[in-house]
């Protein structure tokens, strides 16, 4: 990895291990690096402990999405999903358990998989594909169950409403669609850019992040980041953040958002921005909270740099991992 490659590196995805002691990060060169949180947070940490314990090449294209469940790490790149075992990765064995490819209609262009999420109701994996469809992979049998069609442009992000069993998908066409996971029908379609309060025509109508809390939904991208009440399908708060937000998440009573701009924004549900914490990358792509372990409760953000910032206290950056 020469210095030029490091300069042009972007981190697109992160995931914590089920034990909470390791962080896996995927970059735009198709590599996944595993960092040891326990070594970096221990009292006798050195500069070497901020380097990865393992780096391997996972896909040919960028690794857009990483996801962990109880024992596996799933990674999605250009057109395929691979599954790795965390136990094997910790032992530095980088052979994937399986690699699957959804059924694409055209075989000329391989569309990328932008985002993945688990649907724990029926143990399936929901993939946001670049072919304007949402693919659902049944993890028990390993087959692709169904395809949700409806978007007219590629799907950026997916999220699952646990209680109602609905899948939310946001796409480049500016629509957030809600699908019933059992029947595969599109239940609702919200065109966010049509609401005057949210729309920002100067950025466009694309939706790049959707996250839900079963009753509430956050979506943003071209239009401003907005909080929606799902039962009445109405926007309740608009957040005055400059720039397009690429990932958001609910945390206790706050909303954390990252996007353009070298800062993590902390916002309250009422619509005010409480704080903007500066970080080292110039713009951020991914935000993850370690909820798997009580000892290493950290927030990590990565973006258009080879550094991944780690926050042990949400108010300031503690240190950075680097590829």
Partner 1 sequence: MTSVSEEAGRSLTAQQKSLAVVTDRRQVHSYRGSRCCRRKRDTRRVYINWMNRAKETEDDEVIRKRLLIDGDGAGDDRRINVLLKSFTKWCNSPGTPDEGFTQYQRMMGILAQCEFSMGKTLMVYDMNLREMENYEKIYTNIEQNITSAHDKIAECKKEIQRAKRIRKNRQEYDALAKVIQQHPDRHETLKQLEALDKELQQLSHIKENVDAKLELRKKQFHVLLSTIQELQQTLENDEKSDNDENIQGSPAQNGE
Report the nearest approach of partner 1 to the CB of residue 234 (Å).
5
Report the nearest approach of partner 1 to the CB of residue 254 (Å).
8
Report the nearest approach of partner 1 to the CB of residue 315 (Å).
15
First to last CA, the chain: 9
How far, in Å, CA of 95 to CA of 85, rounded? 9
User: Six-digit token pair at 224?
Assistant: 């401003």
The residue (of 93 and 197) whose beta carbon lies closer to partner 1 is 197
The stretch near partner 1 (CB under 8 A) out of 14-22, 115-123, 186-194, 266-274 is 266-274
- Which of 163, 268, 291, 295 contacts partner 1 by CB under 8 A? 268
Report the nearest approach of partner 1 to the CB of residue 269 (Å).
4
Report the nearest approach of partner 1 to the CB of residue 239 (Å).
12
**Interface with partner 1 includes 269 (CB under 8 A)?**
yes
Report the nearest approach of partner 1 to the CB of residue 314 (Å).
12
Could you tell me if 289 and 251 are in contact, meaning their C-beta atoms sit under 8 angstroms apart? yes
Footprint on residues 216-235 left by partner 1 (CB under 8 A): 216, 227, 229, 232, 234-235
Beta bridge partners of 180: 166
Binding-site string for partner 1 from residue 243 to residue 262, where x marks contact by CB under 8 A and - marks none: ---------xx---------
The residue (of 51 and 266) whose beta carbon lies closer to partner 1 is 266
Footprint on residues 50-109 left by partner 1 (CB under 8 A): none
The residue (of 155 and 241) whose beta carbon lies closer to partner 1 is 241
Could you tell me if 159 and 211 are in contact, meaning their C-beta atoms sit under 8 angstroms apart? yes
The residue (of 155 and 257) whose beta carbon lies closer to partner 1 is 257
Report the nearest approach of partner 1 to the CB of residue 7 (Å).
40
- Which of 27, 237, 245, 283 contacts partner 1 by CB under 8 A? 237
Beta bridge partners of 210: 219
Please report, as ranges, the residues that interact with partner 1 according to CB under 8 A.
Answer: 215-216, 227, 229, 232, 234-237, 252-253, 268-271
């Amino acid at each position: 990895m020469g210095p030029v490659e490091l300069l042009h590196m972007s981190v697109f995805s992160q995931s914590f291990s089920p034990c909470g002691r390791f962080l896996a990060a995927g970059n735009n060169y198709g590599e996944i690096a595993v960092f040891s949180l326990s070594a970096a947070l221990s009292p006798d940490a050195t500069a070497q402990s901020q380097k990865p314990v393992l780096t391997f090449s996972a896909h040919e294209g960028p690794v857009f999405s990483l996801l962990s469940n109880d024992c596996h790490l799933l990674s999605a790149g250009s057109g395929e999903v691979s599954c790795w075992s965390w136990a094997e990765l910790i032992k530095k064995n980088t052979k994937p358990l399986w690699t699957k490819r959804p059924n694409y209609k055209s075989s000329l262009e391989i569309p990328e998989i932008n985002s993945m999420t688990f649907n724990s109701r029926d143990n399936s994996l929901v993939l946001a594909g670049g072919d304007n469809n949402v693919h659902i992979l049944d993890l028990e049998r390993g087959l692709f169950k169904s395809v949700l069609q409806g978007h007219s442009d590629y799907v950026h992000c997916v999220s699952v409403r646990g209680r109602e069993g609905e899948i939310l998908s946001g796409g480049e066409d500016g629509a957030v669609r809600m699908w019933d996971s059992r029947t595969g029908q599109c239940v609702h379609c919200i065109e966010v850019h049509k609401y005057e309060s949210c729309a920002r025509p100067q950025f466009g109508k694309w939706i790049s992040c959707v996250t839900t809390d079963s009753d509430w939904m956050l979506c943003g991208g071209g239009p401003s980041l907005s909080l929606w009440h799902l039962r009445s399908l109405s926007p309740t708060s608009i957040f005055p953040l400059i720039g397009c937000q690429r990932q958001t998440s609910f945390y206790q009573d706050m909303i954390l958002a990252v996007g353009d701009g070298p800062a993590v924004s902390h916002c309250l549900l009422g619509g005010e921005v409480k704080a903007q914490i500066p970080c080292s990358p110039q713009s951020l792509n991914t935000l993850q909270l370690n909820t798997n372990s009580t000892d290493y409760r950290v927030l990590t953000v990565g973006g258009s740099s080879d550094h991944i910032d780690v926050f042990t206290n949400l108010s300031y950056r503690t240190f950075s991992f680097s590829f």
